[in-house]
Chain A
């Protein structure tokens, strides 16, 4: 097999392309936020409430956050565990599908954006856009194919784009009659109690957890973060009440993209990642069940490809990366707080976007970048029909990928953000759900402005009606 430097994913050297990195980072962040927010899967489905004749509150603290029974129901393969699971109880009119969409008005603002100006490099200005808009559309169907065989298929579409499969899996539940053995196969969300698919914020700036998708600027890692659904197989076990849970997932290194797509190149993947997660719940008298969990994602990403007549055919030079962390979910009656910590690190070749077979291209002082991040998110359920939320989140680079970046822009990529909002559910029945959603989010990204290397601040205001049926 032959390969050449032409086939490298990227050969930019950090010293000469800081501005390109910054713009790449800004665009990546924007796209990530767009993709994430436009494909919020509707994991709260009236279809289940319809099927069982139960109120939404049987499974949700406030749609779409799951309560303890909702978690049990999900872990048990969408089965309650009594004779109500039997088809004879199902209403013939029951259609196991729901859709979710959010018509909204939103305002986006960002400081120090490079604006073209004739005869100069351009100027940095604050850009503000606003108007009426639509979120992506989710069509979700899930349930049981047979006793102890569950499934989920979630086609999702952003306006003007084609449908993609946000998830599609089949799960063999309660193997050997034990809740500790469940096998899921397909594309699915990585197991975690802090589910980004179920949280309460939707705006462009606040509609995702930065920690779940963070990549240092200039990094060529094809992994999109623990918040992205992945393709693979998952072994999950849980206690009867789902207080104690574990999961082990073997995943293709494709960032959830079908077609063996490694780092954006179809038909090239040949490596696997590993995701581990465990959590435990415990009762605190007078407060309720408190939960803690730990997780680790250990993966590989290619740094170059073998090609055939210019077409990438096999990923090569796989280099490692990891994301490890811990979280807690603390309840004080109607008030709950999520605390999250993540440490991430990428291999030096990934961090500097250099092919593993060309180590001489590594810049001076090149090291594997690493960072720490976390968030504190609180929810207050004034009633099941009115929930307030607030979050403070940060991601701080503890080591940049090389000496040039570390020296010139030590804060490059840092994120400091906060989001506040509330959701009012005037309608929350087993047939349908409607929430009025109002949110304000702000995020400052370190040294990302292209001309002055200054920090940029993005803001989102969103008012909308989030509904599913």
Chain B
């Protein structure tokens, strides 16, 4: 019994010595957690590359749409206070210290919001500073325009510049897309209004009681004018039919279906962008914006994001 007791004592002593030795092992959890911390910090959001997109629109129209957005006082895709969804109080600026002077081709627009507090969607956003969005519009052929958008937040104290995670640029581009669509609609309306107006005017003129003919040459002129108006009317009618057919085609192409087994709805048009939602095969979506490889779509449940064109097919 005594032997057992002394052997227990000895093992307890050994255990205690081991514990004493293991005190030096505080380094192990410290290092482990340091590595965890570094790993965790490494997985921080990554700065997105410049948002670049080819738009199938004439240069002048894209310039107009971009200028319209750049002159608006709102920056989409970022906010200061929880519950907000955009930054108000931005200003159109001819130049900004937040971006180096643009020496490349194209027209540059800048929108700046000063005194912004740690805005969302800028990498490691901190402190108070200014948010700037730069839009570069470049001619890329007769009916194609390249648009490059960058957003950055720079602290007033000058310690850091924080690039966007891509969401700001995406949302700003969505605004530009809306403007382009509005322009298209306005153009269509204007076109129809402009083209038909003279016809209506002509017909109203025709409805008026005809004055007694006094001069035969004048009568001939009137007849010529009427013939011109009639041929114009016919051309307009044909044009209208063509436009209606085009509209039908556009409407059909606006609805797409997921043809891949599994597709990801992403926050930005990049492979590594944040996944907003997973889309199932056969699910339908509405196309909002098209680029060469990525379509911005709205899913059936109202979520918006970017899907690779390879995962989509047009609806029959």
Tell me, yes or no, whether A binds B.
yes
Residues of A at the B interface (CB closer than 8 Å) are: 52-55, 57-58, 61, 67-70, 72, 80, 84, 105, 107, 130, 241, 283-289, 331, 333-334, 382-386, 422, 424, 426, 430, 436, 438, 461, 463
Beta-carbon contact of B26 and A386 below 8 Å: no
Residues of B within 8 A of A424 (CB): 33-34, 36-37, 40-41
Beta-carbon contact of B126 and A107 below 8 Å: no
Residues of A within 8 A of B82 (CB): 53-54, 430
Residues of A within 8 A of B272 (CB): none
B157 at the interface (CB under 8 A from A): yes
B7 at the interface (CB under 8 A from A): no
B35 to chain A, nearest CB (A): 10
Beta-carbon contact of A386 and B157 below 8 Å: no
B22 to chain A, nearest CB (A): 11
Task: Decide yes or no: A386 and B159 within 8 Å by CB, A55-B118, A72-B128 being known contacts.
Answer: no
Beta-carbon contact of A384 and B124 below 8 Å: yes
Task: Decide yes or no: A463 and B29 within 8 Å by CB, A68-B127, A69-B127, A384-B124 being known contacts.
Answer: yes
B102 at the interface (CB under 8 A from A): no
B117 at the interface (CB under 8 A from A): yes
* Residues in B85-131 with C-beta less than 8 Å from chain A: 117-118, 124-128
Task: Decide yes or no: A463 and B40 within 8 Å by CB, A58-B126, A68-B128 being known contacts.
Answer: no
Closest to B42 in A: A383
Residues of A within 8 A of B126 (CB): 57-58, 61, 67, 384
1/0 per residue B145-157: CB within 8 Å of A? Answer: 0000000000111
> How far apart sit A241 and B36, CA to CA, in the bound complex (Å)?
37
B38 at the interface (CB under 8 A from A): yes
> How far apart sit A189 and B147, CA to CA, in the bound complex (Å)?
54
Closest to A50 in B: B82
Name the one of B23, B26, B41, B128 contacting A69, with C-beta atoms under 8 angstroms.
B128
B96 to chain A, nearest CB (A): 16
B141 to chain A, nearest CB (A): 40
Task: Decide yes or no: A58 and B156 within 8 Å by CB, A53-B83, A463-B29 being known contacts.
Answer: no
> How far apart sit A378 and B83, CA to CA, in the bound complex (Å)?
37
Residues of B within 8 A of A105 (CB): 26
Closest to A331 in B: B159
Closest to B79 in A: A53
Residues of B within 8 A of A385 (CB): 37, 40-41, 44
Tally of A-B Cβ pairs under 8 angstroms: 104
Task: Decide yes or no: A334 and B26 within 8 Å by CB, A52-B81, A54-B117, A58-B117 being known contacts.
Answer: no
* Residues in B33-54 with C-beta less than 8 Å from chain A: 33-34, 36-38, 40-41, 44
13 A-B pairs with C-beta separation under 8 A: A52-B81, A67-B126, A67-B159, A80-B117, A84-B81, A107-B23, A286-B158, A287-B158, A331-B159, A382-B38, A385-B41, A386-B37, A463-B30
Name the one of B26, B80, B128 contacting A461, with C-beta atoms under 8 angstroms.
B26
Name the one of A54, A284, A285, A386 contacting B80, with C-beta atoms under 8 angstroms.
A54
Closest to B35 in A: A424
Beta-carbon contact of A422 and B34 below 8 Å: yes
Task: Decide yes or no: A57 and B40 within 8 Å by CB, A287-B158, A422-B34 being known contacts.
Answer: no
Task: Decide yes or no: A288 and B41 within 8 Å by CB, A57-B127, A105-B26, A422-B34 being known contacts.
Answer: no
Name the one of A54, A284, A331, A386 contacting B38, with C-beta atoms under 8 angstroms.
A386
Residues of A within 8 A of B117 (CB): 54, 58, 69, 80
Residues of A within 8 A of B187 (CB): none
Closest to A70 in B: B127
Interface size class of B (residues with CB under 8 A): 20 to 34
B247 to chain A, nearest CB (A): 44
Residue picked from B23, B40, B127, B155, most chain A C-beta under 10 Å: B127
Residues of B at the A interface (CB closer than 8 Å) are: 23, 26, 29-30, 33-34, 36-38, 40-41, 44, 80-83, 117-118, 124-128, 155-160
Residues of B within 8 A of A383 (CB): 41, 44, 124
Beta-carbon contact of A288 and B118 below 8 Å: no
Residues of B within 8 A of A68 (CB): 127-128, 155-157
Residues of A within 8 A of B80 (CB): 54, 58
Closest to A68 in B: B157
B130 to chain A, nearest CB (A): 13
Beta-carbon contact of B40 and A426 below 8 Å: yes
> How far apart sit A288 and B160, CA to CA, in the bound complex (Å)?
8
Name the one of A55, A130, A334 contacting B160, with C-beta atoms under 8 angstroms.
A334
Task: Report, nearest first, the 6 A-B pairs whose CB atoms are least far apart.
Answer: A424-B37, A53-B82, A288-B159, A58-B118, A383-B41, A69-B128
Closest to A52 in B: B81
Extra pairs beyond A331-B159, A424-B41 (9, CB < 8 Å): A58-B117, A67-B126, A68-B127, A288-B155, A289-B158, A385-B44, A386-B41, A422-B34, A424-B37
Closest to A281 in B: B157
Residues of B within 8 A of A386 (CB): 37-38, 40-41
Residue picked from B26, B33, B38, B157, most chain A C-beta under 10 Å: B157
> How far apart sit A92 and B23, CA to CA, in the bound complex (Å)?
48
Closest to A66 in B: B127
> How far apart sit A53 and B157, CA to CA, in the bound complex (Å)?
22
A136 to chain B, nearest CB (A): 22
B274 to chain A, nearest CB (A): 18
> How far apart sit A298 and B147, CA to CA, in the bound complex (Å)?
64
B158 to chain A, nearest CB (A): 4
Beta-carbon contact of B83 and A382 below 8 Å: no
A182 to chain B, nearest CB (A): 20
Beta-carbon contact of B158 and A288 below 8 Å: yes
Closest to B29 in A: A463
A48 to chain B, nearest CB (A): 12
A85 to chain B, nearest CB (A): 12
> How far apart sit A283 and B159, CA to CA, in the bound complex (Å)?
10
> How far apart sit A402 and B26, CA to CA, in the bound complex (Å)?
44
Beta-carbon contact of A130 and B23 below 8 Å: yes
Closest to A57 in B: B126
B56 to chain A, nearest CB (A): 39
> How far apart sit A53 and B272, CA to CA, in the bound complex (Å)?
29
Residues of B within 8 A of A55 (CB): 118, 125
A466 to chain B, nearest CB (A): 13
Residues of B within 8 A of A72 (CB): 128
B209 to chain A, nearest CB (A): 67
Beta-carbon contact of A57 and B124 below 8 Å: yes
> How far apart sit A381 and B114, CA to CA, in the bound complex (Å)?
25
